[in-house]
Amino acid sequence: MTHIDAGAGPAEVHPVRAPVRAGGLTAAEVAERVARGQVNDVPVRSSRSLTEIVRANVLTRFNAIIGVLWLIMLFVAPIQDSLFGFVILANTGIGIVQEWRAKQTLDSLAVIGEARPTVRRDGIAAEVGTGEIVLDDLLEVGPGDKIVVDGVCVEADGLEIDESLLTGEADPVLKRPGATVMSGSFVVAGGGAYQAAKVGREAYAAQLAEEASRFTLVHSELRTGISTILKYVTWMMVPTAIGLVVSQLVVQHSALKDSVARTVGGIVPMVPEGLVLLTSVAFAIGVIRLGRKQCLVQELPAIEGLARVDTVCLDKTGTLTEGGMDVSELRALDGYDEAYVRRVLGALGESDPRPNASLRAIIDAYPDSEDWRCVESLPFSSARKYSGATFSEGDGQASTWLLGAPDVLLPDGSPALAETGRLNERGLRVLLLARAGGDLDDPGITRSVTPAALVVLEQRLRPDAAGTLGYFTAQNVRAKVISGDNAVSVGAVAAKVGLTGTAVDARRLPADRDGMARVLEEGTVFGRVTPRQKRDMVGALQSRGHTVAMTGDGVNDVLALKDADIGVSMGSGSEATRAVAQIVLLDNSFAGLPSVVAEGRRVIGNITRVATLFLVKTVYSVLLALLVTAWQVEYPFLPRHLTLLSTLTIGVPAFFLALAPNTERARPHFVRRVMRYAVPGGVVAAVATFTAYLVARHHYTGPGSLEAETSAATLTLFLVSMWVLAIIARPYTWWRIALVAAMGAAFLCVLVVPGLQRFFALELVGTTLPWVAVGIAAVAAAALELLWKWVGRRFPA
């Protein structure tokens, strides 16, 4: 039921400062307002500026720590011990470049998908950018249009506005001239015009647009999990680093420069600095890849969110079927003459200035005869499922006609309903033309109708729908078709694209959430769904633990799109749906969804994979520092050694692994899933390395023995880290095997090329200790295999 609003709204506006004219402002008046700055200078897409991107990538907590350590090393040690600083500079530069490219992609796509409201000036209606609207402009609106600035209604033809995004009230509000219209609301039925009373940052639309189109790298489980990990790493790092400093500088009484170098060598690898960078790069490259496929990601974590989706709710129109329809048959009822019925349909088409797809097909098939005059019209509403008009016919008589869903306009048992059912079973859409005995504004008008004809419409199936649904089935993502059309008809259409299952009439759905959720679990196709029910159905599925994506292009999809975990809108959809959706398919291709899902899965799966590599290093670095402090011995590594190990076993492999294909569905509990492998892996690596180091300390004696001890420990840690990499790289493909082999070959080159030996201070002395190191690493590798298998069984993901 609609509410009549005589002027009250969610908020008051300032009085209109200019007289209202039907033709709108003149060019001179527009120029005058522009000169005064009374322009709707709303913020453009809130993607980060280049300065903000540089600041976000450079001014981080860990960059500050490593930067200070790097400056220290530049003064006290050879340049090879400062390589870690140059690596950080390169990584940061890569992050800045990739995010800048992603920003350019997003901003260029945003221009394509930008809404252009219709403004009437000098008596001519034309589309302009939202930033070109000036105070007192006259804006025309119709179904699906968003109210972009606060204003006052000037013209109204059955104008119904949904203000639920502002007030939470789902029922549309009937607007009459003089009523307030608020930016952020949208038109669900009828049409009209309103005069801009607040523009720019004064209007709520500026805040809404900025929020809806935000480029962000936050508010995702992945990034939240990484932040949590980094917080714990900081807590562990501070006391461990203090203990290491005391151990190396005070207890050992070693040379200052060597002690500082080894202290820094123990602190630097505790920082998983590349993990944040790699996550940002993976997200940014995901945006660029999707941008090339005309997919606008309005909120960056949406890539991640869609990868976690296990249920996709599809609106039939615009996803399974194309927007256009064709009239395939006209069946006159109850003795009505077909020629007369055609004249009625032509007049109905003429009465609606903004026809929907069904009425547009009727207009194309039955042009208006122009001898009937429309006295009053009632635009189509997805809530009531019909439209109507009252005409003064050529002989002066008046008649009222309704056009809508047969099962809404007719009582149960009507013969026309049986015929409608047979047509619906063939996947055809059927509208009933009926003569009404009451007034259009009478809520009970449908109780006194006389059926006149059935209009049979044939819907155009999207050629890509079957393949896309097949992809979701293969990926264990359940599809639910939710439509306002007849359930039998929708079920037949769904069957044509390979989606089988029970068709349910939503009017018979339980009102309570639990009952609705039970039916939704079992059913596949739902017809006669109201906009409010779409929203309730999304909530019911979420209450069962499902991650829900909602696709749609019509104004009746807005509430469900907003409440779904991920909202996906077509580029040709209404302005309101594009505003609330996180992802917009600019080419209107439903086939673009698998690309988004695949990109999200690639990002999350690969980041989860490589995060284990980074955190194994953090765990073994902290544990090695603790063991060194407890045993009061020199730290076994210089920064150059750990830079070499990090580059070959983590940095280079992680970059390739993070960008590799990955179709595994994203799973929750990122921190737990990463740490369950990182902790045992790091403990084994640290124990094996420290054991080899202690054995080497007992084996080698005399001056210069520390370099031999370091070389043995480095060999052990490299071999164990390589085994961790080999486990992470599974399942093996040719390029993953080649990647692991290349890293091993690179380390071998360092060991055998004299110049590289001297540069990295690595020289294996004798044959006994190197083989002991290999043996210790082999035992550690076997322990890793057993531990990780046990962890997988004991703590399943």
Angle between helices 256-267 and 593-631 (to 10 degrees): 140
Give the separation between CA 728 and CA 726, rounded to whole angstroms: 6
Give the separation between CA 388 and CA 377, rounded to whole angstroms: 6
pLDDT value of position 335: 82
Give the separation between CA 195 and CA 592, rounded to whole angstroms: 38
What domains can you pick out in the chain, each with its CATH number? 3-46+115-212 (2.70.150.10), 217-287+597-794 (1.20.1110.10), 328-457 (3.40.1110.10)
For residue 93 the two structure tokens come to: 């530069």
Q: Residue 462: name the closest of 561, 338, 585 by CA.
A: 585
CB contact at 8 A, 595 and 290? yes
- Give the pLDDT band (50/70/90) at residue 715: very high
Least confident among 100-109, 114-123, 378-387, 693-702: 100-109
pLDDT value of position 206: 55
Q: Residue 479: name the closest of 541, 437, 431 by CA.
A: 541
pLDDT value of position 255: 64
Distance, first Cα to last Cα, the chain: 48
Whether pLDDT at 177 is above 80: yes
Q: State how beta strands 173-175 and 150-162 pair.
A: antiparallel
Helix (H, G, I), strand (E, B) or coil at 583: strand
pTM equals 0.67
CB contact at 8 A, 633 and 738? no
100-141 pLDDT, tens digit per residue, is: 877 777 666 665 556 688 899 988 888 888 788 898 899 999
CB contact at 8 A, 606 and 660? yes
Whether pLDDT at 213 is above 50: no
Percentage of the chain lying above the pLDDT 90 cut: 14
Which residues, including other chains, have CB under 8 Å from residue 786's CB and lie 6 or more apart?
none
- Mean predicted confidence (pLDDT) in 338-346: 88
pLDDT value of position 629: 83
Average pLDDT, the chain: 80
- Mean predicted confidence (pLDDT) in 691-705: 81
Give the separation between CA 57 and CA 92, rounded to whole angstroms: 6
pLDDT value of position 114: 65
- Mean predicted confidence (pLDDT) in 695-707: 77
- Mean predicted confidence (pLDDT) in 565-592: 78
pLDDT value of position 695: 92
For residue 340, which amino acid is it?
Answer: Y
- Give the pLDDT band (50/70/90) at residue 427: confident
Cross-strand pairs, 583: 297, 568
Which residue has better confidence, 11 or 680?
680
Cβ neighbours of 375 (radius 10 Å): 14
660-672 pLDDT, tens digit per residue, is: 877 776 677 788 8
Give the separation between CA 555 and CA 357, rounded to whole angstroms: 13
- Mean predicted confidence (pLDDT) in 78-97: 75
Start-end of H helices in 575-704: 575-580, 593-631, 639-646, 652-658, 670-699
Q: Which of 127-141, 740-754, 779-793 has the highest mean pLDDT?
A: 740-754
Least confident among 549-558, 559-568, 772-781: 549-558
Which residue has better confidence, 556 or 600?
600
For residue 189, which amino acid is it?
Answer: A
Give the separation between CA 710 and CA 718, rounded to whole angstroms: 12
pLDDT value of position 253: 59
Got the DSSP string for 125-171?
EEE--GGG-BTT-EEEE-TT-B--SEEEEEEEEEEEEE-HHHHS--S
Helix (H, G, I), strand (E, B) or coil at 607: helix
The secondary structure of residue 455, as a DSSP letter, is: E
For residue 524, which amino acid is it?
Answer: T
pLDDT value of position 662: 77
Whether pLDDT at 212 is above 50: no
For residue 475 the two structure tokens come to: 């990926």
pLDDT value of position 166: 64
Least confident among 44-53, 628-637, 725-734: 44-53
184-196 pLDDT, tens digit per residue, is: 788 888 888 999 9
- Give the pLDDT band (50/70/90) at residue 266: confident
Catalytic residue list = 315
- Mean predicted confidence (pLDDT) in 138-149: 85
- Give the pLDDT band (50/70/90) at residue 473: confident
